[in-house]
């Protein structure tokens, strides 16, 4: 399982403490003579040595952390350094601490003298016990350590392999980073010694070097030779050692420069000769890593089969006799897998294909074609074996420039096979069924599927895609895979081929006759959505990444163009995105528009593109005030509305505390700018409840408690005393309640607003109104019938619909003016219902302000707003405003300049750019010239955009993001109209002149 994402992010805090620690550490390594890297790397992350040192010391130090199993992995997680491979990350962190901080910990924390660099920094991080490590006890454990761990990791973190050493190495290589290789630099100087050198050897007195070489040669063992694969820097005092003299037995070629991982006692006991130090000459040699282009060109010819060689009897014995066992490790896991694919053995091929797929998935960021010679060729050649499974052909890649081009089975490995599609068309397919296949067929198909998926995984990294794009047989392989028979068992192979093509086409320049370009166009006629979307994405990248050598997307079949138009009708975001991108690049070429005019109805295409200008749009409204309202503020009023009869009856059923709070809530509203005298509010309460309470024999609430309840209902109100001057000039005090004011109409216990009867007196004076308050329109309707119209009820309790002279006396209504006209009662009351409903709607209370029926609910409610009656101002002239409609489509901000407004993006932007391409380029086509020659009165732009111009103007006014693009579209259409009129007039004039001359 992949390690979890670290919970902390590892960053370097460049504080003063950090800089001081690095300077101290740098001086320590200079005095010790060891290399020092202040910011070592773990992949792409730089390690903070101060954080690492403090964190390891907090957990007991290097020895304690190394003694506990899997403790280094926990250290990685705690420091936020865990990436994707837990064992490799743990070992890398351990090696960084071992190399730069272990000796510093012994010196500063444990106050001891650290071991010499030869057995500490210049060796790999093997286990712990640094505090007790000396030259004597460490030499005795060298052999045991190397037998337990060849790569320097503790043996307890490695699996136990039951297979031979090569299998163990193979499994180990899948989880851990392979040991880095030191590039071999051969000595290119003459092998014959100079006169000075030979004389020195003949006349030199016996010294330590001569005696040492004579004693050390007979004791050769595996560990007496240096490790040629170590990449650790060699210290200065070891780099300056003179080369040893040639050994007997002609094995001097096995000697190499002493590396820091070598623990040979000869190195420790060696004493420098008094003669001058001899330097070993080196020459830079081209390698696949340093010069990949040179080796990429040479490897095609180098893969020819070698000439037959004379077999050597029992070569293994000769190698084992000449080389120590440590040199017989064999290839690493990467080369082993590649050789397994080419072995021809089914078991070995299964091993190689499986592990290459696993490596490409787990180590895709480090697995590069340029670092492993022959890997791209091996994977491609193995995948070409798919041809023999479905056709009677064996595809082979030939790197000989003079090969037989008529041989259908040989593919050109140098420049590609230009007639690969014709060859595939001539192949005779085998009888392969979807449901029944032999076991060998299924196994081989799985192997090819794994190798193809390995290529797909690797080309997801740009370096690999760029590298393999220059390998022509890969394009032949993609054409072969995409032209396999239409069977379900090869669907996944075709999808993998399209994904590979999508990654590599951005590095290719494909002309209209290229087999891969034709193959991708053929995929657009498929009914598989995944095939269509991936093919469109690959075709879009052909010209997207090559602006100087843009592929013109020519020779697109008429069937494909029709499909593109039909796909614009689907509600598929990805397919619409890819289709509009393709049409944008396709319509940028003038010749393509001639083909499009002959293939589809262009008017329908323009209509669909205009529709897509509002794809995913959200409509919003904004009201802009043109002129403010003119209001006249009224002074605070102390007139409290009288209590309606039905509300009074319901309040009398409550207790004193609840009745008082509910009445205040019903008749007053919070207003921080208003006030009312305590006397006025107390008198209004007495007028409502004093007599009813006396009749019931119940006491009245006291005035102080009543004033206290006001602040309970409205916490922002408070009692206030104002000093004023009386009428006689004497000072007097006014007791006020600030923060409340009387409502214009009372609110019932259920939250309904009361409204007043506006029926005027029979005398016709509009000031003399009934004035009774009712909560429901039905109650007001019955009140008018009984008290004002004097309509009697029948025996069934219903009003009688009698006929008489009636008129509407509701306010200033002029519907039925007095003295009235003859009508039925219900005819008049049907008209009165209009007044009642209007009045009821105006007095509808706010749903956010329910009237509580208990002090508890009153305290929990926040200070209420004024509701519908909160206005204290009389409006003289209302405000004037206009409502603007906006249409918002997809947008994006510029990352380089995030302060500028958002720009248009997505499918609407692609649609308007396609329309602009059509308007700009269609006037240059041959079809436009034909219209002029025929004497038509309007050009193609007039035909295409005339019927959609109202919608374009609507989008122009509502969509601010698309306004600049639509403006340029209008300019192009208008320019074409003027130009077409001029050309038409010239053509008419020339035709008249020709007719005159003929006459």
- Residue 998: pLDDT band by 50, 70, 90 thresholds? very low
pLDDT beyond 90 at 189: no
The rounded Cα 680 to chain-centroid distance in angstroms is: 67
Residue 869 within any structural domain of the chain: no
pLDDT beyond 50 at 237: no
Residue 866 within any structural domain of the chain: no
417: nearest Cα among 393, 389, 398, 392: 398
Residue 340 within any structural domain of the chain: yes
- CA-CA-CA-CA torsion for 237, 240, 242, 244, nearest 10 degrees? 60
Angle (CA) 7-12-13 rounded to 5° is 105
CA separation for the pair 643, 91 (Å, rounded): 87
User: For residue 877, what pLDDT is reported?
Assistant: 66
User: For residue 876, what pLDDT is reported?
Assistant: 54
Report H helices in 157-194: 165-175
Residue 846 within any structural domain of the chain: no
Query: Token pair for residue 847?
Result: 């749903």
Residue labelled with tokens 């509300």? 647
Mean pLDDT, residues 528-555 taken together: 80
Residue 238 within any structural domain of the chain: no
Contact 889, 899 (CB under 8 A): no
- Residue 117: pLDDT band by 50, 70, 90 thresholds? confident
Q: What letter does residue 944 receive in the DSSP assignment?
A: H
Name residues whose C-beta falls within 8 Å of residue 629's C-beta, 6 or more positions apart in sequence.
875, 877, 878, 879
User: For residue 46, what pLDDT is reported?
Assistant: 85
CA separation for the pair 259, 121 (Å, rounded): 12
For residue 105, give the CATH number of its domain: 1.10.150.60
Contact 561, 569 (CB under 8 A): no
Which carries the bigger pLDDT value, residue 309 or residue 210? Answer: 309
Summarised one tens digit per residue, pLDDT across range 422-436 is 999 999 999 898 888
Last residue of a domain, one of 94, 127, 156: 156
- Residue 703: pLDDT band by 50, 70, 90 thresholds? confident
Segment of 114-123, 377-386, 893-902 carrying the highest mean pLDDT: 377-386
CA separation for the pair 195, 360 (Å, rounded): 55
CA separation for the pair 391, 426 (Å, rounded): 10
* Long-range pairs, 828-834, Cβ under 8 A, ≥24: 828/789, 829/781, 829/784, 829/785, 832/781, 832/784, 832/808, 833/777, 833/781
CA separation for the pair 718, 919 (Å, rounded): 73
User: For residue 984, what pLDDT is reported?
Assistant: 63
Summarised one tens digit per residue, pLDDT across range 564-604 is 999 999 999 999 999 999 999 999 988 899 999 999 999 99
Summarised one tens digit per residue, pLDDT across range 4-22 is 444 567 888 888 888 889 8
Average pLDDT, the chain: 76
Summarised one tens digit per residue, pLDDT across range 598-642 is 999 999 999 999 999 999 999 888 888 887 776 555 566 778 888
User: For residue 383, what pLDDT is reported?
Assistant: 93
CA distances from residue 575 to 496, 530, 551, 583, 997 in whole angstroms, order as listed: 19, 9, 21, 12, 59
CA distances from residue 934 to 776, 927, 930, 939, 943 in whole angstroms, order as listed: 78, 11, 6, 11, 15
User: For residue 459, what pLDDT is reported?
Assistant: 93
Name residues whose C-beta falls within 8 Å of residue 891's C-beta, 6 or more positions apart in sequence.
902, 903, 904, 905, 961
* Long-range pairs, 69-74, Cβ under 8 A, ≥24: 69/156, 69/157, 70/157
pTM: 0.49
- CA-CA-CA-CA torsion for 771, 772, 773, 774, nearest 10 degrees? -130
Phi-psi region of 797 (alpha: psi -120 to 50; beta: other; left: phi over 0): left
Summarised one tens digit per residue, pLDDT across range 783-814 is 888 778 778 787 777 887 778 888 788 877 87
User: For residue 402, what pLDDT is reported?
Assistant: 78
Which carries the bigger pLDDT value, residue 276 or residue 788? Answer: 788
Segment of 112-121, 394-403, 496-505, 818-827 carrying the highest mean pLDDT: 496-505
Question: Collapsing DSSP states into helix, strand and coil, what is residue 610?
Answer: helix
pLDDT beyond 80 at 265: no
Mean pLDDT, residues 68-81 taken together: 85
Contact 339, 166 (CB under 8 A): no
Report H helices in 818-960: 825-842, 855-860, 906-921, 926-933, 940-945, 949-958
Query: Token pair for residue 537?
Result: 């994405």
Mean pLDDT, residues 117-144 taken together: 69
Burial 407-418 (b: 16+ CB within 10 A, else e): ebebbbbeebbe
Summarised one tens digit per residue, pLDDT across range 957-976 is 999 999 999 999 998 888 87
Contact 591, 552 (CB under 8 A): yes
pLDDT beyond 50 at 226: no
By the 10 Å C-beta count (0-12 exposed, 13-18 middle, 19+ buried), 76 is classed as buried
CA separation for the pair 532, 526 (Å, rounded): 7
For residue 432, give the CATH number of its domain: 1.25.10.10
Last residue of a domain, one of 127, 156, 185: 156
CA separation for the pair 925, 939 (Å, rounded): 11
By the 10 Å C-beta count (0-12 exposed, 13-18 middle, 19+ buried), 332 is classed as middle
The DSSP line for 558-569 is HHHHHHHHHHTT
Phi-psi region of 330 (alpha: psi -120 to 50; beta: other; left: phi over 0): left
Summarised one tens digit per residue, pLDDT across range 382-420 is 999 999 999 999 999 998 877 777 788 889 888 889 999
Mean pLDDT, residues 448-460 taken together: 94
Summarised one tens digit per residue, pLDDT across range 746-758 is 888 887 888 778 7
pLDDT beyond 70 at 170: no
Last residue of a domain, one of 612, 638, 659: 612
Strand residue runs (E) in 137-259: none
Contact 368, 464 (CB under 8 A): yes
The count of C-alpha atoms lying within 13 angstroms of the C-alpha of 19, restricted to the half-sphere facing its C-beta, is: 3
Residue 194 within any structural domain of the chain: no
Q: Which of these ranges, 3-12, 251-260, 327-336, 977-986, has the smallest mean pLDDT? A: 251-260
Q: For residue 401, give its domain range.
A: 333-612
Summarised one tens digit per residue, pLDDT across range 148-169 is 333 333 333 444 444 333 333 4
pLDDT beyond 80 at 548: no
Residue labelled with tokens 């020659």? 933
Q: What are the backbone angles phi and psi of residue 911, rounded to the nearest 5°?
A: -65, -45
Distance between the two ends of the chain, CA-based, in angstroms? Answer: 94
- Number of compact structural domains in the chain: 3
Query: Token pair for residue 810?
Result: 């509701």
Name residues whose C-beta falls within 8 Å of residue 765's C-beta, 6 or more positions apart in sequence.
none
Contact 906, 617 (CB under 8 A): no
Residue 851 within any structural domain of the chain: no
Mean pLDDT, residues 706-726 taken together: 84
Q: Tell me if the bond preceding 819 is cis, omega within 30° of 0.
A: yes
Question: Collapsing DSSP states into helix, strand and coil, what is residue 668?
Answer: strand
The count of C-alpha atoms lying within 13 angstroms of the C-alpha of 898, restricted to the half-sphere facing its C-beta, is: 1
Contact 613, 953 (CB under 8 A): no
pLDDT beyond 80 at 437: yes
User: For residue 223, what pLDDT is reported?
Assistant: 35
Mean pLDDT, residues 47-76 taken together: 87
User: For residue 482, what pLDDT is reported?
Assistant: 94
Strand residue runs (E) in 254-349: none
Name residues whose C-beta falls within 8 Å of residue 916's C-beta, 6 or more positions apart in sequence.
965, 968, 969, 972
User: For residue 175, what pLDDT is reported?
Assistant: 46
Contact 936, 993 (CB under 8 A): no
Q: What letter does residue 402 receive in the DSSP assignment?
A: T
pLDDT beyond 70 at 222: no
Name residues whose C-beta falls within 8 Å of residue 863's C-beta, 6 or more positions apart in sequence.
670, 714, 715, 716
Phi-psi region of 751 (alpha: psi -120 to 50; beta: other; left: phi over 0): left
Report H helices in 460-601: 462-468, 472-482, 491-504, 515-523, 529-544, 558-567, 573-586, 590-599
Summarised one tens digit per residue, pLDDT across range 649-682 is 888 888 888 889 988 888 888 888 888 888 888 8
Q: Which of these ranges, 224-238, 402-416, 435-449, has the smallest mean pLDDT? A: 224-238
User: For residue 687, what pLDDT is reported?
Assistant: 86
- CA-CA-CA-CA torsion for 50, 52, 55, 59, nearest 10 degrees? -130
- Residue 231: pLDDT band by 50, 70, 90 thresholds? very low
By the 10 Å C-beta count (0-12 exposed, 13-18 middle, 19+ buried), 569 is classed as exposed
pLDDT beyond 50 at 28: yes
Residue 452 within any structural domain of the chain: yes
User: For residue 531, what pLDDT is reported?
Assistant: 94
690: nearest Cα among 679, 681, 682, 700: 700
Element (H, E) at 877: strand 873-877
CA separation for the pair 320, 109 (Å, rounded): 48
User: For residue 491, what pLDDT is reported?
Assistant: 93
Angle (CA) 588-514-578 rounded to 5° is 45
């Amino acid at each position: 399982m992949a390690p979890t994402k670290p919970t902390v992010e590892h960053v370097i805090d460049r504080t003063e403490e950090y800089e001081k620690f690095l300077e101290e550490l740098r001086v320590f390594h200079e005095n010790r003579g060891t290399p020092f890297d202040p910011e070592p790397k773990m992949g792409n992350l730089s390690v903070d040595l101060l954080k690492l040192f403090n964190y390891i010391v907090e957990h007991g130090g290097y020895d304690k952390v190394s003694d506990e199993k899997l403790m280094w992995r926990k250290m990685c997680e705690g420091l936020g350094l865990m990436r994707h491979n837990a064992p490799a990350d743990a070992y890398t962190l351990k090696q960084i601490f071992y190399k730069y901080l272990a000796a510093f910990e012994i010196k500063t924390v444990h106050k001891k003298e650290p071991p010499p660099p030869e057995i500490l920094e210049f060796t790999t991080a093997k286990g712990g016990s640094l505090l007790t490590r000396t030259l004597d006890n460490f030499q005795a454990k060298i052999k045991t350590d190397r037998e337990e761990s060849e790569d320097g990791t503790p043996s307890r973190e490695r699996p136990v392999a039951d297979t031979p050493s090569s299998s163990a190495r193979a499994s180990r290589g899948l989880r851990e980073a392979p040991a880095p290789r030191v590039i071999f630099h051969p000595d290119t100087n003459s092998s014959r010694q100079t006169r000075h050198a030979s004389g020195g050897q003949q006349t030199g007195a016996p010294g330590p070097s001569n005696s040492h070489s004579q004693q050390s040669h007979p004791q050769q063992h595996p560990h007496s030779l240096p490790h040629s694969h170590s990449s650790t820097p060699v210290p200065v005092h070891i780099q300056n050692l003179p080369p040893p003299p040639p050994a007997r037995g002609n094995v001097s070629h096995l000697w190499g420069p002493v590396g820091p991982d070598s623990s040979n006692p000869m190195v420790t006991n060696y004493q420098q000769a008094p003669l001058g130090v001899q330097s070993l000459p080196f020459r830079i040699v081209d390698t696949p890593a340093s010069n990949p282009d040179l080796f990429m060109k040479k490897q095609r010819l180098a893969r020819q089969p070698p000439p037959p060689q004379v077999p050597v009897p029992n070569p293994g014995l000769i190698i084992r006799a000449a080389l120590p066992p440590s040199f017989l490790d064999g290839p690493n896991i990467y080369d082993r897998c590649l050789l397994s694919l080419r072995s021809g053995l089914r078991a070995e091929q299964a091993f190689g294909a499986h592990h290459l797929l696993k490596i490409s998935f787990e180590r895709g960021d480090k697995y590069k074609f340029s670092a492993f010679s022959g890997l791209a060729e091996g994977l491609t050649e193995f995948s070409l074996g798919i041809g023999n499974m479905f056709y009677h052909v064996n595809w082979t890649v030939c790197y000989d420039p003079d090969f037989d081009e008529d041989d259908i089975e040989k593919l050109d490995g140098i420049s590609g096979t230009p007639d690969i599609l014709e060859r595939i068309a001539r192949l005779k397919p085998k009888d392969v069924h979807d449901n029944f296949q032999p076991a060998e067929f299924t196994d081989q198909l799985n192997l090819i599927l794994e190798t193809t998926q390995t290529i797909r995984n690797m080309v997801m990294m740009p370096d690999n895609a760029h590298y393999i794009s220059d390998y022509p047989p890969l394009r032949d392989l993609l054409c072969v895979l995409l032209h396999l028979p239409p069977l379900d068992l090869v669907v996944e192979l075709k999808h993998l081929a399209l994904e590979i093509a999508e990654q590599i086409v951005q590095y290719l320049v494909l002309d209209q006759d290229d087999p891969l370009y034709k193959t991708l166009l053929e995929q657009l006629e498929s009914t598989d959505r995944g095939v269509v979307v991936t093919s469109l994405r690959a075709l879009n990248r052909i010209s997207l990444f090559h602006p100087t050598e843009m592929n013109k997307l020519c020779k697109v079949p008429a069937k494909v163009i029709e499909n593109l138009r039909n796909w614009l009708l689907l509600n598929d975001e990805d397919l619409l995105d890819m289709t509009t991108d393709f049409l944008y690049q396709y319509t940028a070429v003038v010749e393509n528009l001639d083909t499009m005019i002959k293939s589809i109805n262009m008017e329908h295409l323009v209509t669909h593109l205009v529709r897509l200008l509002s794809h995913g749009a959200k409509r919003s409204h904004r009201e802009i005030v043109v002129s403010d309202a003119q209001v006249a503020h009224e002074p605070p009023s102390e007139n409290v509305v009288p209590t309606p009869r039905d509300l009074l009856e319901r309040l009398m059923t409550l207790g004193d505390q609840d009745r008082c709070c509910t009445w205040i809530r019903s008749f007053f509203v919070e207003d921080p700018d208003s006030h009312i005298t305590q006397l006025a509010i107390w008198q209004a309460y007495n007028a409502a409840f004093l007599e009813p309470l006396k009749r019931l024999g119940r006491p009245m609430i006291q005035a102080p408690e009543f004033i206290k309840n006001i602040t309970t209902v409205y916490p922002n109100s408070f009692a206030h005393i104002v000093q004023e001057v009386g009428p006689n000039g004497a000072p007097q005090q006014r007791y006020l309640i600030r923060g409340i004011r009387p409502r214009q109409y009372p609110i019932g216990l259920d939250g309904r607003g009361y409204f007043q009867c506006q029926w005027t007196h029979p005398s016709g004076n509009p000031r003399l109104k009934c004035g009774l308050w009712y909560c429901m329109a039905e109650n007001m309707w019955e009140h008018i019938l009984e008290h004002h119209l004097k309509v009697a009820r029948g025996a069934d309790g219903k009003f009688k619909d009698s006929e008489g002279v009636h008129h509407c006396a509701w306010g200033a209504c002029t519907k039925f003016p007095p003295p009235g006209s003859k009508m039925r009662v219900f005819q008049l009351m049907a008209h009165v219902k209009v007044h009642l409903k209007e009045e009821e709607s105006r007095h509808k209370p706010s749903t956010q302000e329910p009237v509580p029926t208990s002090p508890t609910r009153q305290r929990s409610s926040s200070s209420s707003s004024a509701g519908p009656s909160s206005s204290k101002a009389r409006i003289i002239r209302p405000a004037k405003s206009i409502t603007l409609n906006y249409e918002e489509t997809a947008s994006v901000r510029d990352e380089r300049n995030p302060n500028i407004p958002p720009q248009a993006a997505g499918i609407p932007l692609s649609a308007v750019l396609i329309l602009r391409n059509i308007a700009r380029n269609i006037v240059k086509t041959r079809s436009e010239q034909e219209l002029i020659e025929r004497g038509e009165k309007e050009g193609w732009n007039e035909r295409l955009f005339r019927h959609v111009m109202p919608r374009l103007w609507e989008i122009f006014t509502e969509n601010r993001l698309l306004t600049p693009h639509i403006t340029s579209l209008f300019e192009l259409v208008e320019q074409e109209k003027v130009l077409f009129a001029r050309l038409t007039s010239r053509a008419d004039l020339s035709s008249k002149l020709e007719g005159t001359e003929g006459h």
